[in-house]
Amino acid sequence: MGTPEIVLLTRRECHLCEAARDVVGRVAADAGLPWSERLIDDDAELSERFAEEVPVVLVDGVQRDFWRIDEARLRRTVAAAVARAAAAD
């Protein structure tokens, strides 16, 4: 399974995305994990799917939170993903 993948989906000029970046960055750093950000503005499929929910956090490809990212919930989700990855290795 490897390292859990954390992806933040955002839009340009999104005030909620700024706060989400801070939360995701903190949680990922504390877990020692990389994370990435993808703009949905230039991706028709992502834009259609997530237009009303941005920002969106995906962990291992599964939507885990949107709009206002709950830091405690994301920490639990990431910890569970790390545990699953460790058990699979």
Domain locations in the chain? 6-84
Distance CA(25)–CA(15), nearest Å, equals: 16
CATH class of the domain comprising 6-84: alpha beta
Q: How many CA atoms lie within 13 A of 86 on its CB side?
A: 6
Token pair for 56: 């969106």
The pLDDT value recorded for residue 51 is: 87
pLDDT in tens, 36-83: 999 999 999 999 999 899 999 999 999 999 999 999 999 999 999 999
Predicted local confidence at residue 54, as pLDDT: 96
Q: Minimal CA–CA distance to 75: which of 15, 6, 12, 17?
A: 6
Place of tokens 């399974």: 1
What are φ and ψ of residue 66, in 5° steps? -155, 170
